[in-house]
Structure 1
Amino acid sequence: MNDSASTAAGYHRATSYRRHRIPPHALDWANQPALVKDYSGLPRIPLPRNLELPRVDYFTRACRPEPECRTPDVAPNFNQIAAILQLSHGVTARAVHSGQPFYYRSVASAGALYPSELYLAAYESDGLHAGLYHYDPLGFSLTELRRQPLPAIPKVDRPVAASFYITGIFFRSAWKYRSRAYRYVLLDAGHLLENLRLALGALNQRFSIHLDFDDEQTANLLGLDPEREVCLACIHLHTDADKGLQPAASIELEPSGVDIRRASRVSGREASYSEILNLHRAGSGGGSVDSSSPMLVTHGQPLARIDLAPSDSPVAADYTQVLGRRRSRRNFISADVSRENFMTFAETMVQSMGARSGMPAACRSALAAGILASENMPVPPGFYLLDPKKRQLEQQLTGLLIQDMAAACLDQMWLKHAGLHLLFLTDPAFLDELWGARGYRYAMIEAGRLGQQAYLAATALGWGACGIGAIYDREAADLLGLTENGALVYLVGIGPVKTNVGKTR
């Protein structure tokens, strides 16, 4: 294998965009991927729609779940599972675009292609047999894939009541983004993971998040065609040691039937990209380890440091209403942002980056986050890194860089009107050195997870947000003064939008 097939740095370089060098690509509309997996003939269980959803404030509780805060006495029941699914990946509105139905969802997705799928392994639950289920967000139902006791994958030393598995279907994104699609599949998995994390916290569930497991075992458990669909994340729900059941890790699972594996195919004519398959396979044996050395993505010392201070009067926003209102909005306007609301946003992001997030330590080591501030922010214009440990902004560059960054994002000049650009940065060579090819999963999933949090925080503040993965990679890195291997992997434009004229925050 050459390095583009087996390393994060090689894949990232091979799929980088360069100005005037992007090959033209026409979308094959006749073979547009289906948004729902087809499990014809298998039992389908409708989920209850009149659910009692949590009424909690977004900023003071929902966006800061503590996965170890308490242990429920019993496993979640059927209604609670339905609420978790609705909050994590529910349809929030329906519309018709170009004569076709369009479903707005609580989770963001690159190009609205939704490559992520969600599965539930129930070990003990009031209202569900022990077994494996696939979640259909459009039909709001579960399809029963296995009815039998299941092992908990990965194995843990605490009782597990249920597990959620997030997968990605390559072709759903590759239909539009070709070999670059692995980036978006990972980002989308992170978006969904964050929504799931927030839902479990709002419902007082105790959970643990896992990105390291045996890829072959999870594919067998979930009935995936590993050439088309792969597992990317798992969340175990835990119960009290005296009340819960520990799934037996020794259970031998029969391979799923051909019809179940065939459901990973979502189009009559699919293209396969070796760059995606080779990098994913190369990372199949990776393992999360703590980083003893920090990842450096910029040169030199900060020009200045600004302490983050929580607002004395934070904005009140209902968590479930925030999910329902979440959209990708790009009609930004030039309007001043108050210091209180800027600090509320920045504080929300640093809180989501620390150990309290419940994310594996490798994720927190594999990614850095920063802000490009416009002249409408209450801090001097420039490029800042977020330091979650010191709770500070570290100024790296001064000056108005927003317009130049919009040009580096494939000349999407509407970005120059955003109040700020939230930046997610990594060093693919560092990822390779520490974790091998699997490190790319850690960085990109973490970027997507924090991007989803940014969408929700912006919505709660009455702002707009729109994520961008289409970047002239080296051009953006040079603009920010990143190291030789430093890379901007995701950007979210954020700020006041036209719908908020007269009520700017």
Structure 2
Amino acid sequence: MKPHKPTTTCTAYHSLTSYSRQDMSGHYLDWENQPNVYKSYPDLSQILLPREVSLPEAKLSSLIHALPRTATPAAGICLEDLSLILLLTYSITARTHHGLHDFFYRNVASAGALYPTELYVAIRNVKSLDDGLYHFSISDHGLSMLRKGNLSGMLSGSPGESSEGFPSLAFFLTAIFFRSSWKYRDRAYRYHLLDTGHLLENLTLALKSLKYPYHCSFDFDDTHVNRFLGLDSEMEACLAVCTAPGPDLAEKSGNVVIPDLPESFKKRSRVAENEVRYPAVLEIHRSGEKVLTSGNSGTNMPCPQIKNTPGNRTEIAKKGTWPERYNYGEAILKRRSKRNFVKKEMDADHLIALADGLYPGIPEKSRDFARDHSSICTGFICGNVSGMDAGIYLIDPQSGNFGIVKEGLFLDEMAAVCLNQAWLSNAAVHFLFLANLSAIEETWGARGYRYAMAHAGRMGERLYLMATAMELGCCGIGAFYDQEAAECIGLDAETSLLYLVGVGPVKS
């Protein structure tokens, strides 16, 4: 890892935390100081949520293509619905043994299975639950109340504001920094954001499956929200908010006083005895605290460029149906990182469906939607797909169609770029999430890094679920030699690879 320099911009942080084959130093994990992956409030009573709930039977394809709801269900939100939303979003799905310890699989992807993300929910008018702010415990599938009462004034920023029209559910996704930085050090903020996107995608699909309207945002007052949640912002911070149903909390502002929660609550953000603070993580996070409100959606964001692109591109149209074996409810609970790829040809219909799911063409006109989709560009390396030429392709975000831009065999080279993980060369395709970080910085400042990385995480999680529904293997890769990756793909100097996801047939 390079010597530390101040990292207050997207490009500076990404450059500092880039891996280089020549500069990689030995790093030994301190197993005696391994972070706890479960946050708890032992002094608070816990409300256990019902687990016996019926899973949605909708196909994942129909759910992804469905238009977002705009009206609240007339029946309102009940305890069983909230339990189902949380079960589909963040749950333990299996247990295995690693050495002397049990390991619990979750239904969401996480870099290194370190699970930095925590989930909180502010509740209003949910049947059988008191209004208030709760922390969700994935290990117990339960809620611990942190604040009691109607909190709409605190969240809206206006002390006397009526709660009418205020969201019934406001979800807050946070990252505990040391869980990831224990292994990845200064590079960990990349994974904090990717993992936030993974979980946010699960949450939005869960809300969509229950036909609840929702609004996601990465724009809010960091200090305001972290104080509301009772966090020690040196150790844990909110990275995303999702309200359901209701207005965007980011549009609310004011000088409402938020009472401090007990100091003991802040201490629950500590997950190891001897935590190390990695300066680049805190610097890039703090640099992104300012939300630029210029109204620029980024629709004119320059697309990442691949050098020596052939003059002619053959567009391949997507099809209307997917070869799904499992429905959404089944896929969400079966999702795993599977890397036991086999060199077997993948049917082109699978690839077309995957591209279709990343860009389903749903007309959403919100500023956040336009911004998030314009912050990254998506492509893939095709190596073993029936009827498809080997090479690098880019996906058109408007149509979901894709075309080849660089011919050749690149899977083996990219597997070597990804820290010599040879198994990755057996995947049929490597999906690529790319960004022009200089343009992002110019448009949205350092906070734009959150938009791009988290959105890449959302799309990566969607790939995991689509692959699971079609009985394919899938594994995300955030660790690679950054400059070698750019050279392999043929990226211009302004463009960076943010995330790679391998997909393909696996051993039965």
Fold in common (TM above 0.5): yes
Rounded Cα–Cα distance in structure 1 between residues aligned with 2:126 and 2:254: 19
- Counterpart in the other structure of 2:242: 235
Q: Secondary structure at the match of 1:470?
A: coil
For the pair 1:404 / 2:413, whether they are aligned, the reply is yes
TM-score, with length taken from structure 1: 0.92
Letter in 2 for 1:18: S
For the pair 1:205 / 2:212, whether they are aligned, the reply is yes
- Counterpart in the other structure of 1:243: none
Most deviating of 475-484 and 2-11:
2-11
The 8 Å contact of residues 371 and 421 in structure 1, kept in 2 or not, is answered as yes
Shift of 1:210: 0.9
RMSD value over aligned CA atoms? 2.4
Which runs of structure 2 are paired with 1:261-276 in the superposition (5 Å)?
261-276=266-281
Rounded Cα–Cα distance in structure 1 between residues aligned with 2:405 and 2:6: 31
Which runs of structure 2 are paired with 1:49-68 in the superposition (5 Å)?
49-61=51-63, 63-68=64-69
- Counterpart in the other structure of 1:253: 258
Unaligned runs of 5+ in 1: 241-245, 500-505
CA separation of 1:298 and 1:248: change in aligned 2, threshold 3 A = closer
The 8 Å contact of residues 69 and 211 in structure 2, kept in 1 or not, is answered as no
Most deviating of 369-378 and 25-34:
369-378
The 8 Å contact of residues 211 and 360 in structure 1, kept in 2 or not, is answered as no
Which runs of structure 2 are paired with 1:277-288 in the superposition (5 Å)?
277-287=282-292
For the pair 1:187 / 2:189, whether they are aligned, the reply is no
Rounded Cα–Cα distance in structure 1 between residues aligned with 2:506 and 2:476: 15
Rounded Cα–Cα distance in structure 1 between residues aligned with 2:366 and 2:341: 30
Rounded Cα–Cα distance in structure 2 between residues aligned with 1:377 and 1:468: 24
- Counterpart in the other structure of 2:77: 76
Q: Secondary structure at the match of 1:135?
A: strand
Shift of 1:153: 4.0
The 8 Å contact of residues 311 and 340 in structure 1, kept in 2 or not, is answered as no
For the pair 1:173 / 2:180, whether they are aligned, the reply is yes
Most deviating of 64-73 and 476-485:
64-73
The 8 Å contact of residues 65 and 362 in structure 2, kept in 1 or not, is answered as no
Q: Secondary structure at the match of 2:7?
A: helix
- Counterpart in the other structure of 1:126: 127
- Counterpart in the other structure of 2:160: none
CA separation of 1:399 and 1:188: change in aligned 2, threshold 3 A = same
Rounded Cα–Cα distance in structure 2 between residues aligned with 1:50 and 1:60: 25
Shift of 1:394: 2.7
Shift of 1:69: 4.7
Rounded Cα–Cα distance in structure 1 between residues aligned with 2:127 and 2:213: 17
- Counterpart in the other structure of 1:142: 143
Which runs of structure 2 are paired with 1:49-448 in the superposition (5 Å)?
49-61=51-63, 63-151=64-152, 153=155, 158-238=165-245, 252-287=257-292, 289-299=296-306, 303-312=312-321, 314-351=323-360, 355=364, 360-448=369-457
For the pair 1:42 / 2:44, whether they are aligned, the reply is yes
- Per-residue Cα deviation, 1:327-361 (whole angstroms, up to 9, x for no partner): 11111111122222221122111218974899532
The 8 Å contact of residues 394 and 405 in structure 2, kept in 1 or not, is answered as yes
- Per-residue Cα deviation, 1:9-34 (whole angstroms, up to 9, x for no partner): 00000000001311111111111111
Rounded Cα–Cα distance in structure 2 between residues aligned with 1:204 and 1:468: 32
Shift of 1:252: 3.2
Rounded Cα–Cα distance in structure 2 between residues aligned with 1:471 and 1:449: 20
CA separation of 1:154 and 1:478: change in aligned 2, threshold 3 A = farther
Unaligned runs of 5+ in 2: 158-162
Shift of 1:221: 0.8
Q: Of 27, 30, 54, which aligns to 2:29?
A: 27
- Per-residue Cα deviation, 1:28-84 (whole angstroms, up to 9, x for no partner): 1111111111312112111111112222112222x3343335432243111110100
Rounded Cα–Cα distance in structure 2 between residues aligned with 1:316 and 1:357: 33
Rounded Cα–Cα distance in structure 2 between residues aligned with 1:274 and 1:427: 24
CA separation of 1:239 and 1:353: change in aligned 2, threshold 3 A = closer
Rounded Cα–Cα distance in structure 2 between residues aligned with 1:25 and 1:238: 45
Aligned residues: 492
Letter in 2 for 1:78: L
Shift of 1:396: 1.6
Letter in 2 for 1:79: E
CA separation of 1:65 and 1:85: change in aligned 2, threshold 3 A = farther
Q: Secondary structure at the match of 1:360?
A: helix
Q: Secondary structure at the match of 2:224?
A: helix
Rounded Cα–Cα distance in structure 1 between residues aligned with 2:428 and 2:366: 26
Q: Secondary structure at the match of 1:6?
A: coil
Q: Secondary structure at the match of 1:160?
A: coil
